[in-house]
Each structure stands twice: as structure tokens, then as C-alpha cells.
A and B are shown apart, each in its own frame.
Chain A
Amino acid sequence: MTDTSTAVPAATRQSIDTAAAHLKRRYRAERRFKAVGLGAILLAMGFLVLLLWTIISNGASAFMQTYIRVDVTFDAAAIDGDDLPGLVKSSIQQRFPAVESRSEKRELAGLLSSGADLDIRRALAADPSVKGTTQPLWMVASDDVDMAMKGYVSRQPGLAGNRLTDRQIAWLAELEAAGAVKKRFNTILLSSGDSREPELAGLWGAVVGSVFSLAITLLVSFPLGVATAVYLEEFAPKNRWTALIEVNINNLAAVPSVVFGLLGLAIFLNFLGMPRSAPLVGGLVLALICLPTIIIAGRAALKAVPPSIREAALGLGASKQQVVTDHVLPLAMPGIMTGTILGMAHALGETAPLLMIGMVAFIVDIPATPLDPSAVLPVQVYLWADSPERAFVERTSAAILVLLVFLGAMNLAAIMLRKKFERRW
């Protein structure tokens, strides 16, 4: 072959040149477009990392709690007389016998939590033979001590406005020097109900409440949502009525959630007479919030099943119902489940509608059934965030972390289920 470039006529050369220049521009535009997309993702990731970092750095310390070791004389008279708080006080006073005046004794007792008697009760339950003997026992420290040990509050004596008095700071230093102060994993946070004392406050009541509520939400909204989606997509005639229903469902997805709370108050509480603050009602209200999401996602998933599958099944003599239950629904299931998990995640984070039905409340007892009063995790976050005690600041972040873990576990379960059901064609 000869040199082709010389053989090409000038006019063609020119158009090739413009095409090449044009191509370059198109490549540049494409690179820009990709860069913008990548930038958007990086920005979003940056925000996510920042958010998680703030929550984790604020909340991580809440998973540890300060304990103080004191020699406790398990005095039989005090135990039989059920005066365990008195036993706590006398134990710590024995540790510092020089303390005489009433106000000093009060300050001394303030080193330990007002719930420290539970530690004595626990020790007695674990080993009844300690009664009458003197044993060293680790007891929960008060929130002020806990904050000082974690470095949130200064331990410099003579600072005006410090929650810890100079005497308390000195006692604490003495105890620490004797190795009688340490931080332990905060089991209370994960195992007990709410409390107004930060060191005794736990999330378990809210976790159980959330589990009950979401179980009811799933139980109600999933079957109803799928049935609605299947009917509208596969069976319903296309007329003015179904169009109206469709518009309404799409609108419902955008209704502020507090409106559903009002609806729940009017129907479930006032009309049906269900109990206030119960996860049953919470679950029903949240189910109403979830339904539009599930229906819309379900219909999209059903639409995505190729018509050839329906036609093949019909062609082989399957009835309409068999086509739906045996072929279309299993194929659409992964998509329906994605919609369901989106709706459930939405429901998990709601507080506004729950205010109306009395779930934004201080509830100590852990609910045993969905009819018992209960809070849910986001409500607990809201209530703790509003509490004046300093130690609730870190516990609020810890509660958010637990909420996120809960959400992560739910998503993981959904992904696993989806993987199991996923089919390709």
C-alpha cells in the first residue's frame, strides 16, 4: 500500500480532521461527565464518613462505664430489712472513715450511682453465701464521676461550676491510686430499660419495642402491599377507578408521616380503643406509612418481569392465578423485597407519628408483649438528646449507633433473602 494520507482528497481530509477534533471534544466531555459523577459519589462518601465519624467518636465512650470497687459488708440486718441503698452508703463511708459531716457524707455517696444497690442485689443473687461477710464489690459510679473519668469534665480542683466538688475529686484520686476505679464494658446500656440516671439508662426496652413494632409492620404491610400490587398490575382493568387509586397511592407516599399518626390516633385509639403507647398501634401506623412504598416498588418489580414468561406459561395452559403465583411473583420477589426493606427502614426511623399515639414516653419496664407500653429506638434517641445530664450526650450517639446496627442487620437479612430468591433469565 502507498501512503494513504496523500491519496485522500483535501475535502475528505478536512472532514476527517473535524471528526477527529470533534471526537476529542466528545472524549473530553465524557471524562468531565465521569468526573462529575465520581465527584458526587466522593462528596457523598465524605459526608457519610464525617457523619459516622462524629457519631462514633461521640458515642464510643458510652459503651464503657466507670465502676468503683468498695469493700461491702453484707450486713444480714440491712439485707433482710431490704435497705440495700443504706448498705451502699455505709460501705463507702467505711472506706473513708474520716468523713463526718452530713453534707460531706452526701458528697461521698454521690460518687456511686443511686442504682449501685442493684450491684449488691446481683452479688447476693449470684452467691447467697456472701451474706454476713465482707467482700470487695465493683459498683456503678455516678454519671458525674463517669464523665470525669472519661475526660469530658475537668478533674482540676477549684474550678467553679464543676459538678464534682473538690472533695469528690480528691476521693476519686485516692480511689484511683488504690486501683479501685476502672472502666468496664457497659452492659447496662444494652440490657436495661430507660432511666433518668444516665449510668443506669439502657436501650433494651426500645430495641424490644422496635422489634415488636416492625414485626407488626411487616406482618400487616407486606401481605397487603403485595396483594394490592399484584391485583393492580395483573388483574385490574385499566379504567378511571384504577387510575384514581393509582394516583392516590402515589400521593400517599408523599404524605408527611405525622398525618398517619393523627389517623392512627383517630382510628386505632379513639375508635377501636386500642391501648396508648403500645407497639401494636405503632406497628399498624408504621404499616400505613410503609404500604405506598411497598405497593409502588412491587408494581415496578412485577412490570419488570418479561411478558414472554407470562405468555409461555399461559401458552402451556396455566391459569392466570398459576401464572402469577408460580412464575411472575417469584421472579418479582427480589424487587418487592427491596421495596419492603426501604419502607421498613423508613418506618424504623420514624418518631413524629408515634408522638400522636403516645410512644414518645418515659417507659422503664421492658415490654413483654406488643400490648405493653413501649418506646422505640428513634424515640429513645430523641428523648435522650433532650436530657440535661451531660452523660446523655454520649449515650445519644451510642443509641444512634445501635439504631444504625439494627438497620444494617435488617438490610443484611434482606440482601441474603434476595440472593436466595434471585433468578436470572
Chain B
Amino acid sequence: MSKKLAVAAIALATVAFAGAAQARDQIRIVGSSTVYPFTTAVAEQFGKAGKFKTPVVESTGTGGGFKLFCAGIGPDHPDLTNASRAIKKSEVETCAKNGVADIVEMKVGYDGIVLAASKKAKHMDVTRAQIFLALAKDIPQGGKLVPNPYTMWNQIDPKLPAQKIEVLGPPPTSGTRDAFIELVMEVAAETFPELKDLKKTDEKAFKKAYASIREDGGYVEAGENDNLIVQKLDANPNAFGIFGYSFLDQNGDKLQGSMVDGVAPAFEAIAAGKYPVSRPLFVYAKKAHVGQIPGIKEYLAEYTAEKAWGKTGYLADKGLIPMPDAERKEWAAKINGLEALKM
């Protein structure tokens, strides 16, 4: 009897949602877990205003987000996607192939990636080249690549503290790791003549050289959970951690950010573009869904309002680094005019 009931219930449900999928009155957002804290904060405020339902925001990662976003047009597909990097040409092409022609790009602000340690530790001031020498799997020495011999920071430079190299950071699956490789390791690698030559002769080998992080214990993959890294740093003053600025902002009483290339990872320095390890964050919207799914235009307006992404807005309070005034204004005009992305 209950079996029949269950089958009937499923059959009924199948009919019911076939209808439900057609009309959707709620914005759906997918994408990067780095942008997730900001997009969700805007979604919550947007829903609180009461005119529209609170958007559903999934945390799928940047790549996974674009995959879903570019799969097609219509209520079955998400309206917006978060990205911790700009959309790639190949992704725009996939989108176009599936009928997603006009994409509105929204630059949200910046995220800093910090090298931080416990407040109990000595303050560090490193250059990106020094970080490279501390973390790369193979380093250039005497004209060729050799396995990283350094175990102490002061072996790299006598001015650095005499403590073991121990850095806790994200695993290769993380977007923060990709950004760290790109903004620190790649840039630093080009300052070594041996690697610069390698880039000219063998691009692939060069990429392998800067993207390979040491696996002998100097760099510890601490999982995707940045809170865990924060707790470990608090317990071990000799260790450094790599994570997003918002975690440093929230734990400023326990942690200190190391200076990179002479600049400390402070709000103002990142906003002014002085801190070298920062990346822009984006949200992409489907123009074709505007007018089909209620509230997309209003949601973008909420995101680009000064009270949200402004210097003293609630997103800054959540750890987002706002763009400079002029840049914000320019983007707001573009976004609210639904100007489509050109590649």
C-alpha cells in the first residue's frame, strides 16, 4: 500500500515540478566561493527590502559556475555567476554556442591574498622573490633548477628571522591557490634570469617551474577551510598562512599580515592598488534573463549602490576591498546600463 502511495507521490511530484520549472520568480546565482560572502550579503539585503524573493546563491567554484551559467538560456539555468577571475575567451565561446550571447560583466571590487602569522611571531617583511625561494619546489641556483634546499627563512636572506619555513596554504583545487601562484610565484619567477630564459625557450617547463609548490613539508596544504588555518596559526607562532584578506580582517586581534614588497596588507593599501597580491572579483549576469526573471536589474542596482560596495558600505565590512571612486562610478554606469561584454 505504502509502496503504491510512494509511487503515486513521485508521479504527482513529477507532474507538479514540470510546471514549476517553467516559471521562476527567484534569482539563482552560482559560482566562486570567494565572491560568495559578498553576493550572499547583497542577496540578503535585497530580499529584506521585501519586493523580491531572496536569491539562492550556490557555492560551486568559479569554473563550475561558468559551466552552469553557460549551459543555456531559460529558467533552468542560473541568472548570475560569481567569479574570482575574469571570464575566459573559451568560456565566452561556450556561452555563445549555447545561446548565452549578451553577458553583463560586473567588477565587484578586490580581494587581497595575505601571508599572515600570529601576533606572537616576529613581524615579517618579504619580497615576492623571497616567497618564491621559500615555497617553490625547484629553485634556480647557479644557472640551473635544483630542488629547494632552504629550510630556514634566514638561509634565503640573513635579514629574515631564523625560523623554520612552515607555510599553511590552500590545496591546488582552491581558487586562492591559483591566484597566489599567478600573483606571487609567476611574477617572482620572471625576476630570476634562469627562469626568464626558460620562459623564452620552453613555456611549458617555465609554467611547471613556477606552479610547482614544494612537497617536503615547507608548505602544508591545510584544506579549503581558512578558519582552520587561522586556528593553527594562533597555536603555532612559527607558521605562516596564506588566505583571503577577509579572514585577516576578522581575526586582526590574533593575526598580523606580513609585508609583501614593503607594503602591509591593510584595507587602504589594497584599495589603492599598492599591495601587490590582490585580484579583482567579478559577477556575470545574463542579459537575456533581465525581464524574464524578476529582480535582476534591481539586484544589480543593489550591488552597485554606495551603501553596498562603497568605501563604507556593508560589503567593505564583510572584507571586500572597494574599487576607487572613479572606477566604481564607471562600472556602475556600465552595469546599470546593462552593457554587454565584448571580447
* Chain A interface residues toward B at CB < 8 A: 106, 114, 153-154, 159-163, 195-197, 219-220, 222-224, 227, 272-278, 280, 355, 358, 360-365, 370-371, 373, 383, 385-390, 392-393
Contacts and interface: CB of A to CB of B under 8 A. Distances in A.
B248 to A, nearest CB: 9
A273 B57 contact: no
Interface string B13-36: 110111011000010101001001
A274 B21 CA distance: 7
A362 B14 CA distance: 25
A224 B53 CA distance: 37
Interface in B44-84: 44, 47, 53-54, 56-60, 76
B312 A361 contact: no
A364 B54 contact: yes
Contacts of B9: 219
B148 interface: no
A195 B57 CA distance: 12
Given A274-B21, A388-B249, 6 more contacts: A161-B255, A196-B37, A223-B6, A273-B18, A361-B58, A362-B57
Contacts of A273: 17-18, 21, 76
A382 B159 CA distance: 41
Nearest to B39: A362
A389 B250 contact: yes
Contacts of B314: 114
Interface of B: 2-3, 5-6, 9-10, 13-14, 16-18, 20-21, 26, 28, 30, 33, 36-37, 40-41, 43-44, 47, 53-54, 56-60, 76, 119, 224-227, 244, 246-247, 249-256, 312, 314, 318-319
A371 B13 contact: yes
A388 B318 CA distance: 8
Contacts of B53: 365
Contacts of B41: 196
A358 B67 CA distance: 13
B6 A385 contact: no
A373 B20 CA distance: 12
B246 A275 contact: no
A355 B60 contact: yes
26 contacts: A106-B312, A161-B254, A219-B2, A220-B6, A222-B2, A223-B3, A273-B18, A274-B14, A275-B20, A275-B21, A277-B56, A277-B58, A358-B30, A360-B59, A362-B40, A364-B43, A364-B44, A364-B54, A365-B47, A365-B53, A386-B224, A386-B226, A387-B37, A388-B226, A388-B244, A388-B246
A274 to B, nearest CB: 5
B253 A153 contact: yes
B74 to A, nearest CB: 11
A277 B5 CA distance: 24
Contacts of A159: 253
Given A196-B40, A274-B21, A388-B226, A373 B26 contact: yes
Nearest to B1: A223
Contact of A386 (B33, B58, B249, B318): B33
Contacts of A371: 13, 16-17, 20
Contact of A278 (B17, B33, B224, B253): B17
A220 B10 contact: yes
Nearest to B54: A364
A370 B16 CA distance: 11
Contacts of A392: 227
B89 to A, nearest CB: 26
A405 B163 CA distance: 45
Given A362-B57, A388-B319, A162 B225 contact: no
Given A195-B44, A364-B44, A386 B227 contact: yes
Given A220-B6, A365-B54, A280 B13 contact: yes
